[in-house]
Structure 1
Amino acid sequence: MYNIKILVLLMFSLQSISMYAMQESLHNVERGRQVMIDDAVTNFSYLTQGFDFLQTQGLIDTTFHDFLQQNISHDEHEDEEMNFDQVMIKAEDVLTLHMKHTFIKELDMTMKYYYSDDPVFLYVMEHKDTSMPDMVRLWLHEWSKTTNKGGFFPLDRAILNSNKIARMLIDAGVNVDIKNRYGQTPLHQAIFYSEIEIVQMLIDAGARLNLQDENGLTPLHLAVRNNSTKIVAMLIAAGANLSIRNKEGKTPLYSAISHNEKEIAHMLIHAGAHVNLKNNYGISLLHLAATHNNEEIVKMLLAASACINHQNKNGQTPLHLAVSNDNTNIALMLIHAGADTYILDKHGKTVDQLDGCTKIIIKSIVQNREKKQKKIDAQAIARLKKN
């Protein structure tokens, strides 16, 4: 009987100790939970501030601290972790739910009206680079992939309407090579509107320099068309391909010559642009320069070893075109540079048989032929003597 009493006392003692230990464990867990909540309120200030702001706007009715109290669960088992990570994601979702749509909507509005006094928009703009960079970056990435009714992306529209928003999108790391409905990239757009600062930002952000739009135009084609020497220089320095042809077979140098842009033509030739490419109609750069009566560009092309006797689809050489267009000085330049005066066009005519051939050109042709004949004769005599 005595032994039984001892055993019962021991059992009650062990049960009491076990209950005490369990209660102490629960207290420890709760203390740990409170420490975790207090630390989160301090360390995740963007959530604390965000909840406070939304509360002042009447959009939510709880603080971040109370939100954590309501959602972080008790850990009753030492081998299980509290749901802290899930609760933090849920807290960020609260900010996203009440801020993202308004922020994006107001961004669109500011591109039209250049101003917004919406409190949520102003709050996000104030904190986007300090306490909320990751969240705002995510929102901007999502927005950057949407188009308006015209098929233009936010970055396209920002380049036209708001450099500030364009910079915001580029800094957020959005896709800077995304093409609109016309196959144009943001770099095409920035060059079209001569936004030099944005062009440099896009280049620095790694924008691809040689993408073509639906007409085969590269950013360099557009820069040449705009006669923007500064942007052309930027693209050359960044390593743009100088000789890509558009759908008509025209290179950027072709565009420069067709618009008599001497400085840009010189820049492209000096940078190594191909000088012997023809367009889809067989017209070479020298054909073009001879037609446009641009003596300086003809000199540049000849100095760069442009082929002087290329024929277009009508069998015409640059000399044929110079004579036909009454460009006497260029015709003389080509003859003195060694143009072949015996080549026939598709009508079977040499240059001296063309209606526009003047006496001075004919005289130069005769002298050129005599000079070539003397050279041939001298070579023949040299061969005979050698034999």
Structure 2
Amino acid sequence: MNRSLWTQWSIASVIVLFCAFCLYSPAHAGVDEDLVRAVEDNKTHRVRDLLTKGASPDARDLQSETALMLAARNKNPEMGGLLLEAGANPDLRNKYGETATMLACYYGQLDLVKRLYAKGAKIDHDGWNPLIYAASKGYKEIVEFLLNYGVRIDAATDNGTTALMMAVRGNHYDTVELLLKHGANALIRNEADGTALGWARKQGHTSIVQLLTRNGTAD
């Protein structure tokens, strides 16, 4: 093949590949958008079908929420499990820095939390984390699960807030009691010099004030 024909062939090949890409990309994006809508609508069979057609299990909506995060928000552990089996990354974050595990904890989805952990999701990390999210809503069983699998009980947010403080703030007596039994440090102060006991007093949570006092907490 002479140089001229080779050049023409090369240009033609590039054009064909470019056209194929242009045709494929919108179609692929469309499948991902369909997947997100199906997850939002809790249509498990539709999601399964779209995954087999090549939709990404990590597809995001316009708010940067992944399909897995949406499943957690919708309290749909079956959907979450389906996405995980399809290869969804459990540690992706949305624009607020939240992971699917954090959202599953916040919405009380113990079964999904277990599935996420089984697939290698990080359950202990700096900043706002799954334990703090679960404690803030008083989900005792999730808190216990996380503690049993080694999360740092006194891990704090950037401003020094701990899981114990958030449980106190929400007036979740049983969760506060559980955290104390596992050794939560009630003397930790946040950047505003607040403590768990101080928060309990400020919020008027008398029973928790008494619980903290019985556990030797000093303000």
TM-score of Structure 1 vs Structure 2, range by shorter chain = 0.7 to 0.9
Q: Distance in 1 between the 2:74 and 2:28 partners?
A: 20
Superposed displacement of residue 311, structure 1: 0.6
Please tell me whether residue 217 in structure 1 is matched to residue 95 in structure 2.
no
Please report the TM-score for the alignment, with normalisation by the length of structure 2: 0.75
Partner of 1:143: 27
Whether the 8 Å CA contact 2:64–2:95 is kept in 1: the answer is yes
- In 2, Cα distance between equivalents of 1:244 and 1:170: 30
Q: How does 1:142-221 map to 2 (within 5 A)?
A: 143-146=27-30, 153-161=33-41, 162-221=43-102
Taking a change above 3 Å as real, the CA distance of residues 287 and 194 of structure 1, as seen in their structure-2 partners, is closer
Deviations 1:327-354 (A, max 9, x none): 3443343334333x3xxxxxxxxx4xxx
* CA distance in 1 between partners of 2:40 and 2:166 (Å): 34
Structure-2 residue corresponding to 1:259: 137
- Who is 1:281 aligned against? 159
RMSD over aligned CA atoms reads: 2.7
Q: What is the distance in 1 between the residues matched to 2:26 and 2:46?
A: 15
Q: Does 1:269 align with 2:147?
A: yes
| 1:22 alignment counterpart | none
SS of residue matched to 1:155: helix
Give % identity: 26
CA contact (8 A) 2:200 2:208 kept: yes
User: In the TM superposition, what is the alpha-carbon distance from 1:252 to its structure 2 partner?
Assistant: 2.2
Counterpart in the other structure of 1:108: none
CA contact (8 A) 1:190 1:198 kept: yes
Going from structure 1 to structure 2, the CA distance change for 1:191 and 1:333 (only over 3 Å counts) comes to: closer
| Distance across 1 between alignment mates of 2:216 and 2:78 | 46
| Equivalent-residue separation in structure 2 for 1:230 and 1:254 (angstroms) | 18
Hey, what's the Cα distance between the residues in 2 that align with 1:163 and 1:143?
Answer: 21
- Deviation at residue 269 of structure 1 after TM alignment: 2.2
Alpha-carbon distance, 1:155 to partner: 1.3
Q: Which amino acid aligns with 1:160?
A: E
Residues 127-147 of structure 1: CA deviation (Å, up to 9, x unaligned): xxxxxxxxxxxx7x8623238
Post-superposition offset of 1:278: 2.0
CA contact (8 A) 1:253 1:273 kept: yes
Give the counterpart of 2:110 among 229, 232, 246. Answer: 229
Runs of 4+ in structure 1 deviating by more than 6 angstroms, as ranges, are none
User: By how many angstroms is 1:304 displaced?
Assistant: 2.4
Q: Structure 1 residue 277: deviation in Å?
A: 1.9
Structure 1 length normalisation: TM-score?
0.45
Counterpart-to-counterpart distance in 1, 2:78 and 2:205: 41
Q: Could you give the per-residue CA deviations for residues 44-96 of structure 1, whole angstroms, max 9, x where no partner exists?
A: xxxxxxxxxxxxxxxxxxxxxxxxxxxxxxxxxxxxxxxxxxxxxxxxxxxxx
Q: Counterpart of 2:183 in 1: which secondary structure?
A: coil
Shift of 1:197: 2.7
Shift of 1:233: 2.4
Work out whether residues 159 and 195 of structure 1, in 8 Å CA contact, stay in contact via their aligned partners in 2. Answer: no
Q: Do 1:170 and 1:201's aligned partners in 2 also have CA atoms closer than 8 Å?
A: no
Which residue in the other structure is 1:291 paired with? Answer: 169
SS at match of 2:102: helix
Indicate the structure whose relative CO is greater, using CA pairs within 8 Å and at least 6 residues apart. 2
1:334 maps to 212
- Whether the 8 Å contact between 1:159 and 1:198 is mirrored in structure 2 is yes
1:33-52 aligned at under 5 Å gives the runs: none
Tell which structure's C-alpha radius of gyration is larger.
1
Instruction: State the one-letter code of the partner of 1:278.
Output: A
Q: Which ranges in structure 1 are unaligned for 5 or more consecutive residues?
A: 1-138, 342-350, 352-387
Q: How far apart in 2 are the matches of 1:240 and 1:267?
A: 14
- Structure 2: how far apart are the matches of 1:293 and 1:195? 27
Asked if the contact 1:146–1:153 (Cα under 8 Å) also holds between the matched residues in 2, the reply is: yes
- Paired residues of 2:136 and 2:169 also in contact (CA < 8 A): no
SS of aligned partner of 1:179: coil
> Which amino acid letter does the alignment assign opposite residue 314 of structure 1?
A
Alpha-carbon offset, residue 173 of structure 1: 4.3
